[in-house]
């Protein structure tokens, strides 16, 4: 049973950070052979339980929960940094043409390998990801995530209209493919399926209705889509679905809002939309680097908290600009600052970190499973080296509080901070290290 001695970061149920400068993390298999956290806390308080165990001592390092990315597109790995006037021209000129390539299984496999490795290299151990409309892309991503023992949720994109040849699918076939993929992959090892209408404008009412029927039939699969990201997109959705109260209501009208439904962006909402999120248990994937890059707008943190719906952080690569959770947390801070001038809101470093770990896990319906290092959680964690760069070393050494330490890493951190990523394996007593 591995026992680690190191500084240790984890989160209490109220989202506040717990930090032991001299901490202990003990990991071992449960009855099914899945590696879980057995104990976490102060070395002083826990070490007597493990006197006979070998200890891995990591002086100067911090153990922290693996990051949870609530929304990312695996086929957009190479779309990062494609400039456009806004969302719709970006989709038309860069994204759709690129996603056509994933019809080829060997191309999908090659990108899936890079994508999973890049997530793990950046400390992300759980992700809710879009594939493309091609079932082969879903098979490729699940296969690779399973090989790397990563907790990954994805699905075949549904888009049967307003999409070019090569990515547009057929209504009936798309729903049959979705059901076959649910049966093939959902619940296998650490994998989960998400019913994935791209967004309302690229699905016919028939496709959305079919997706909603599948969502009712398979109550523990996830649902993911985009909503209220961009003003032109909203106008288009309202024209196409005039009977719905709002763009968000389209999804509700087709049975696509419930727990485990995750909507990316959720920027241009009114309070009725916020209440609909809260009342249905749907949650938002907040993607600040994407929103800044595509000029979409600013997520309203104060509005979400006032009405009370769940949310967490996401990269949204390739609208988003980075796989690094540190870049996403810093961008979220900037977005919160923008809101602050209007609403008196400030996102603390503990809150930002929580939103990308335990908070994101909660918003995925995976609280107590991933995103934290409390006893019982799956043993996904990162080893942070706060001396990874000269400036990080200088700045973190001057930190006088946990907030100052976390802030230094959020502002200055990137993949160099992640010395190792450890993911929980199902079988055997070994954790899989991912070397840089
Ligand atoms: N809306 C519909 N498709 C997409 C996509 O691929 N990225 C983003 N950011 N928004 C979308
Ligand atoms: Zn997206």
Q: Report how far apart the first and last C-alpha atoms of the chain are (Å, whole number).
A: 24
Please state, in angstroms and rounded to a whole number, the distance separating the CA atoms of residues 51 and 29: 19
Determine the distance separating the centroid of ligand 1 and the alpha carbon of 316, expressed in angstroms: 8
Contact assessment for residue 254 and residue 209, using Cβ atoms and an 8 Å cutoff = yes
Give the atom of ligand 1 at the shortest distance from the alpha carbon of 202.
2
Tell me which DSSP letter residue 154 carries.
E
Among 157, 163, 198, residue to substitute to test ligand 1 (most atoms within 8 Å of Cβ):
198
Is the predicted pLDDT of residue 202 greater than 60, yes or no?
A: yes
Which of 213-227, 339-353, 362-376, 407-421 shows the lowest per-residue confidence on average (mean pLDDT)? 339-353
The model's pTM: 0.97
Question: How much is the average pLDDT of 191-202?
Answer: 99
Give the atom of ligand 1 at the shortest distance from the alpha carbon of 199.
2
Is the predicted pLDDT of residue 436 greater than 50, yes or no?
A: no
Is the predicted pLDDT of residue 343 greater than 90, yes or no?
A: no
Over residues 290-311, the pLDDT tens digits come to 999 999 999 999 999 999 999 9
Question: How much is the average pLDDT of 123-134?
Answer: 98
Mean pLDDT of the chain: 96
Ligand located closest to 315 CA = 2
pLDDT score of 435: 43
Q: Ligand 1: residues whose CB is within 6 Å?
A: 73, 87, 91, 95, 198-199, 226, 229, 290, 316, 319
Domains of the chain as residue ranges with CATH: 3-65+372-422 (2.30.40.10), 67-363 (3.20.20.140)
The three-class DSSP label of residue 172 is: helix
pLDDT score of 1: 78
Which residue's CA is minimally distant from atom 9 of ligand 1?
A: 319
Ligand located closest to 129 CA = 2
pLDDT score of 339: 75
Distance between alpha carbon 392 and the CA centroid of its chain, in Å?
Answer: 25
Determine the distance separating the centroid of ligand 2 and the alpha carbon of 126, expressed in angstroms: 16
Contact assessment for residue 431 and residue 422, using Cβ atoms and an 8 Å cutoff = yes
pLDDT score of 434: 47
């Amino acid at each position: 049973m591995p026992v680690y001695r190191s500084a240790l970061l984890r989160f209490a149920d109220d989202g506040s950070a717990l930090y032991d400068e001299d901490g202990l993390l003990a990991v071992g298999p449960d009855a099914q052979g899945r590696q879980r956290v057995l104990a976490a806390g102060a070395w002083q308080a826990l070490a007597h339980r493990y006197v006979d165990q070998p200890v891995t001592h990591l002086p100067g390092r911090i153990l922290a929960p693996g990051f949870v990315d609530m929304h990312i597109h695996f086929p957009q790995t190479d779309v990062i940094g494609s400039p456009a006037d806004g969302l719709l021209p970006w989709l038309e000129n860069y994204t759709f043409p690129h996603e056509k390539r994933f019809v080829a299984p060997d191309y999908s496999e090659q990108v899936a390998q890079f994508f999973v490795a890049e997530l793990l290299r950046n400390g992300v151990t759980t992700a809710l990801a879009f594939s493309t409309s091609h079932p082969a892309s879903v098979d490729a991503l699940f296969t690779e995530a399973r090989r790397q023992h990563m907790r990954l949720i994805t699905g075949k994109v549904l888009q049967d209209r307003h999409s070019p040849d090569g990515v547009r699918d057929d209504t009936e076939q798309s729903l049959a493919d979705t059901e076959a993929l649910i049966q093939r992959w959902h619940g296998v090892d650490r994998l989960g399926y998400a019913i994935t209408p791209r967004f309302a404008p690229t699905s016919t009412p028939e496709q959305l209705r079919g997706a909603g029927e599948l969502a009712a039939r398979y109550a523990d699969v996830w649902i993911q889509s985009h909503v209220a990201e961009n003003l032109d997109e909203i106008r288009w959705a309202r024209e196409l679905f005039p009977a719905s109260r709002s763009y968000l209501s389209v999804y509700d009208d087709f049975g696509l809002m419930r727990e485990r439904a995750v909507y990316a962006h959720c920027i241009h909402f009114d309070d009725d939309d916020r209440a609909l999120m809260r009342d249905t248990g749907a949650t938002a994937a907040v993607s600040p680097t994407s929103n800044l890059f595509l000029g979409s707008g600013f997520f309203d943190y104060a509005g979400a908290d006032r009405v009370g719906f769940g949310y967490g952080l996401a990269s949204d690569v390739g609208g988003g600009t980075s796989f690094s959770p540190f870049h996403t947390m810093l961008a979220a801070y900037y977005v919160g600052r923008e809101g602050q001038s209007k609403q008196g809101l400030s996102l603390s470093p503990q809150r930002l970190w929580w939103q990308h770990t335990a908070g994101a896990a909660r918003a995925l319906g995976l609280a107590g499973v991933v995103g934290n290092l409390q006893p019982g959680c799956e043993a996904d964690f990162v080893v942070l080296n706060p001396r990874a760069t000269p400036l990080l070393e200088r700045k973190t050494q001057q930190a006088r509080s946990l907030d100052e330490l976390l802030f230094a890493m959020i502002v200055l951190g990137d993949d160099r901070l992640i010395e190792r990523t450890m993911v929980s394996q199902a079988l055997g007593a070994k954790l899989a290290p991912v070397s840089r």
